[in-house]
């Protein structure tokens, strides 16, 4: 079924008002996640999202043309502020970063749900040839964050239209600095989750984010309970030997050969000392040593990453890396200084909330486009900081254009990646549907 036909298709009766077969993904009790008997049908949300799709696309393209990197995104922040005020909402700006948040206060008392969209781009030259390509040299929205902002603004529009009937509050989180800058943690530190609870609305009891990608076909939803994305730590190793003439290596202590042995040793320790069912990835991605062909340098530097999907293996992998590097260096009479800089933690979807979102997605779009992920993904996400504090989920939205080979289609972080824009209608509707169902069931 094509995505356009999917959007027009009626919701099968078997998915209305009851849990779908996808509950089997997690055999945990759902007593804390009841679906209300009188919950309104979600079928109209796709129609509403499709009706505003031209505006969503226009917003996305405006952001795409003017990408910004890191924690300071003044142009993107200004666009978000403008759109929120157009909806009658009052934006709250970050103090130390270009974040934006806003609340949609419902007409009835209830809890708060957080919806997140990240805003930053990547230091990458765009080569897609799109007529709305980046106008900033060396900067590109290659991870789809421009679509996240546009979809969340579209969902805000649909929720504002329904605010009188909302039994609770929606907290909109527009976040800079996801690509390695920890913007989510900065927003939390500035009080993002500290919403007022002395009025009719309660604390944040759920969180939801969408990440677009071309790994999956357009108009599909993928997620899994538990660990969905890996932790990401930066690994630096400096090997110190003794410099000398390249023609007399026996009179020097070559740090390059020691570094090479460390690289091989790290791959061996991963496959021989870490549980294959709780995996780790250790990649050395940069090696710096030497100045010319006839000098043995004094030092060699390695830069890489450590990825795991549990905090236990994260600690184990760090200890093993240190042991291997220092041990191999010592065996050769050299030394190794190991520095592991903690990055994003494991992104863990709350199991019960994952089952809830899978049910909502199936009710919204049909079970044929919703599929639990079998395995975690070794990429990392700083939405993990939110999920450490609030039960919630990140879901993947498929946006691979028709006709592209899944094996060769450019993926996120590619200078050639192109996202199928009609998929954003499903993203807008899913943000809205999860918020509505969350507030209705609390």
**Both structure tokens of 13:** 């009766």
Amino acid 42: pLDDT:
87
Write out the H or E segment, with its range, that includes residue 393: strand 392-400
Q: Which CATH number fits domain 233-341: 1.10.10.10, 3.30.70.360, 1.10.1740.10, 3.30.1300.10?
A: 3.30.70.360
Least confident of 10-14, 353-357, 402-406: 10-14
Amino acid 442: pLDDT:
63
Q: What is the pTM of this model?
A: 0.88
How would residue 7 be classed by pLDDT, with cut points 50, 70 and 90?
A: very low
pLDDT in tens, 46-71: 999 999 999 999 999 999 999 999 99
pLDDT in tens, 36-52: 334 557 879 999 999 99
Percent of the chain with pLDDT over 90: 90
Amino acid 43: pLDDT:
77
Closest alpha carbon to 243 in 174, 171, 299: 299
Catalytic residue among 126, 421, 440, 442: 421
Closest alpha carbon to 388 in 155, 189, 157, 159: 189
User: What residue spans define the domains of the chain?
Assistant: 3-230+346-441, 233-341
Distances (CA, A) of 170 to 109, 110, 143, 204: 12, 10, 25, 9
Residue 106 has pLDDT above 80, yes or no: yes
What is the distance between the alpha carbons of residues 221 and 395, in angstroms, rounded to a whole number?
A: 7
Q: Is 421 a catalytic residue?
A: yes
Concatenate the DSSP letters of all residues of 252-307 into one string.
Answer: SB-HHHHHHHHHHHHHHHHHHHS-TTS-EEEEEEEEEE-SSTTEE-SEEEEEEEEE
27-35: Cβ within 8 A, 24+ apart: 28/351, 28/352, 28/355, 29/352, 30/352, 30/355, 30/356, 32/352, 33/352, 33/353, 33/355, 33/356, 33/441, 34/441, 35/359, 35/437, 35/441
Amino acid 300: pLDDT:
98
What is the distance between the alpha carbons of residues 175 and 193, in angstroms, rounded to a whole number?
A: 13
> Same CATH fold, 233-341 and 3-230+346-441?
no
Percent of the chain with pLDDT over 70: 91
Residue 5 has pLDDT above 80, yes or no: no
Residue 129 has pLDDT above 70, yes or no: yes
Question: ∠320-325-330 over CA atoms, to 5°?
Answer: 125
CA atoms within 13 A on the CB side of 34: 6
pLDDT in tens, 318-346: 999 999 999 999 999 999 999 999 999 99
How would residue 378 be classed by pLDDT, with cut points 50, 70 and 90?
A: very high
Residue 29 has pLDDT above 70, yes or no: no
How would residue 308 be classed by pLDDT, with cut points 50, 70 and 90?
A: very high
pLDDT in tens, 259-291: 999 999 999 999 999 999 999 999 999 999 999
DSSP letter for 343, please. Answer: -
pLDDT in tens, 209-232: 999 999 999 999 999 999 999 999
How would residue 441 be classed by pLDDT, with cut points 50, 70 and 90?
A: confident
Residue 21 has pLDDT above 50, yes or no: no
Residue 26 has pLDDT above 60, yes or no: no
Catalytic residue among 83, 178, 179, 344: 344
Residue 17 has pLDDT above 50, yes or no: no
pLDDT in tens, 166-220: 999 999 999 999 999 999 999 999 999 999 999 999 999 999 999 999 999 999 9
Closest alpha carbon to 220 in 356, 354, 361: 361
The alpha helices in 383-422, defined as continuous H runs, are: 384-387
| Annotation: CATH topology of 3-230+346-441 | Aminopeptidase (3.40.630)
Distances (CA, A) of 154 to 17, 48, 220, 319: 25, 10, 19, 46
What is the distance between the alpha carbons of residues 211 and 190, in angstroms, rounded to a whole number?
A: 24
Average pLDDT, the chain: 92
How would residue 436 be classed by pLDDT, with cut points 50, 70 and 90?
A: very high
pLDDT in tens, 75-85: 999 999 999 99
Amino acid 14: pLDDT:
31
DSSP letter for 198, please. Answer: S
Cross-strand pairs, 253: 242
> In sequence order, what are the residues at sequence separation of 6 or more whose Cβ sits closer than 8 angstroms to the Cβ of residue 328?
258, 261, 262, 265, 336
Q: Is 165 a catalytic residue?
A: no
């Amino acid at each position: 079924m094509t995505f356009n036909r999917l959007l027009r298709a009626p919701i099968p009766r078997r998915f209305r008002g009851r849990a779908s077969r996808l509950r089997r993904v997690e055999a945990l009790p759902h007593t804390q996640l009841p679906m209300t008997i009188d919950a309104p049908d979600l079928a109209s949300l796709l129609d509403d999202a499709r009706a505003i799709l031209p505006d969503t696309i226009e917003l996305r393209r405006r952001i795409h043309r003017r990408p910004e990197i890191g924690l300071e995104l003044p142009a993107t922040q200004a666009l978000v502020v403008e759109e929120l005020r157009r909806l009658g909402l009052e934006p709250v700006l970050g103090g130390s970063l270009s974040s934006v948040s806003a609340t949609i206060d419902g007409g009835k008392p209830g809890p708060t749900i957080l919806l997140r969209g990240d805003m930053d781009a990547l230091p990458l030259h765009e080569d897609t040839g799109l007529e709305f390509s980046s106008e900033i040299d060396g900067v590109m929205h290659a991870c789809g964050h421009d679509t996240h902002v546009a979809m969340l603004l579209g969902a805000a529009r649909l929720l504002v239209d329904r605010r009188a009937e909302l039994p609770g509050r929606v907290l909109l989180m527009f976040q800079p600095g996801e690509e390695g800058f920890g913007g989510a943690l900065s927003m939390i530190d500035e009080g993002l989750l500290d919403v007022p609870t002395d009025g009719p609305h309660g604390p944040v009891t759920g969180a939801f984010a969408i990440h677009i990608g071309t790994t999956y076909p357009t108009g599909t939803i993928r997620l899994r309970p538990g660990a969905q994305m890996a932790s990401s730590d930066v690994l630096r190793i400096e090997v110190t030997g003794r410099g000398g003439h390249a023609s007399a290596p026996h009179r020097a202590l070559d740090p390059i050969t020691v570094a090479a042995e460390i690289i091989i040793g790290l791959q061996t320790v991963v496959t021989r000392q870490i549980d294959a069912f709780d995996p780790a990835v250790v990649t050395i991605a940069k090696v710096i040593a030497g100045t010319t062909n006839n000098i043995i340098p004094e030092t060699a530097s390695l830069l890489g990453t450590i990825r795991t999907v549990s905090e236990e293996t994260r600690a184990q992998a760090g200890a093993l890396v240190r042991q291997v590097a220092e041990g191999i260096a010592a065996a050769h009479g050299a030394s190794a200084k190991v520095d592991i800089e903690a990055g994003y933690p494991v992104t863990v979807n709350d199991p019960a909330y994952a089952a809830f979102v899978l049910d909502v997605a199936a009710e919204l779009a049909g079970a044929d486009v919703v599929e639990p992920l079998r395995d975690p993904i070794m990429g990392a996400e700083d939405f993990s900081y939110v999920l450490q504090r609030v039960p919630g989920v990140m879901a993947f939205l498929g946006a691979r254009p028709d006709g592209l080979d899944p094996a060769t289609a450019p993926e996120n972080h590619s200078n050639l990646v192109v996202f199928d824009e009609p998929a954003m209608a499903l993203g807008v509707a899913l943000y809205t549907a999860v918020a509505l169902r969350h507030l209705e069931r609390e």
